[in-house]
Amino acid sequence: MKVKRVIVVSVLVQLIFLTSVSGGDTKPSKADEGVPVTSPNEESVKERGMKNKDRLTEEEGKYLLSVARKTIDQALSGKEGPEKEGPDLPALFDEQRGTFVTLTIGGNLRGCIGHIIPHEALIEGIRINAINAAFKDPRFRPLSKNEWKRVKIEISILTEPKSLSYSDADDLLKKLRPGIDGVIFKKGYHQSTFLPQVWEQLPRKEEFLNHLCLKAGLNGDEWKKGRIEVSTYQAQAFEE
């Protein structure tokens, strides 16, 4: 199990935000879909900006990865309900935290769904989004038992989003930090997010924002007009 990273993200929030890629003949790029993209040579731990009280230990992350795997395994086996947890779980697991669960096979995305604004405890969010990523990502067929043997899981734990104020497009560019900030845009009914990892695919700020606008169904240069809401949160990711 690798502790992958801790990163600050800029985000405009909605109650439930899902990230997925098409299961059809034409697939959007991982960057366009806001999908975590990993490199085998990446630093094993990256902690930038997350307060100590919000961080999970490696053992806590490993435990939550096991919860995600057991949850999917039970669903594939036809079992109902989670296993009873022990009495000595960390208090952090009961906090309401946003979570994402990402499934990959051979380095390719197989499902990715998460909550930016939580409705449940952290550990329950991991269970819910493990099921969602495996069986309810709308652009993939439900995960099969044969595929399950090859799946690797990554979980991302988020902090509470914070509003990011900016005066104009130049100010927004100055405040964004590639590799640290992720971004969610909202304008009216249009909204979208990129997890922080997307900077690896779109390292230029202008390009990053253009793609995020397009993902929200807006013109690519909409961010230059200064009428988009932005907020920030942090994410700590663990992978198998």
For residue 77, give the amino acid letter.
Answer: S
Convert the pLDDT of each residue in 176-232 to its tens digit: 888 777 778 899 999 988 877 788 889 999 999 999 999 999 999 999 997 899 987
For 26-49, give one letter per residue: b (16+ CB within 10 A) or e: eeeebbbbbbbbbeeeeeeebeeb
Residue 25 has pLDDT above 80, yes or no: no
pLDDT at 116: 85
Domain boundary among 160, 192, 225: 160
In total, how many domains does the chain have?
A: 2
Domain boundary among 160, 187, 219: 160
Query: Which CATH number belongs to the domain containing residue 70 in this structure?
Result: 3.30.700.20
Pick the range with the lowest mean pLDDT from 37-41, 90-94, 154-158.
Answer: 37-41
Domain that holds residue 106: 19-160
- pTM of the entire structure? 0.75
Beta strands in the chain (DSSP E): 2-10, 17-18, 99-105, 108-115, 151-158, 162-163, 183-187, 190-194, 229-239
Query: How close are the terminal C-alpha atoms of the chain, in Å?
Result: 4
Query: What does the alpha-carbon distance between residue 179 and residue 191 come to, in Å, rounded to a whole number?
Result: 21
Residue 83 has pLDDT above 90, yes or no: no
* Candidate ranges 84-88, 135-139, 162-166; pick with highest mean pLDDT: 135-139
Domain boundary among 114, 142, 160: 160
Question: Does 221 lie in the same domain as 156?
Answer: no
Query: Which CATH number belongs to the domain containing residue 215 in this structure?
Result: 3.30.1490.150
Question: Does 228 lie in the same domain as 117?
Answer: no
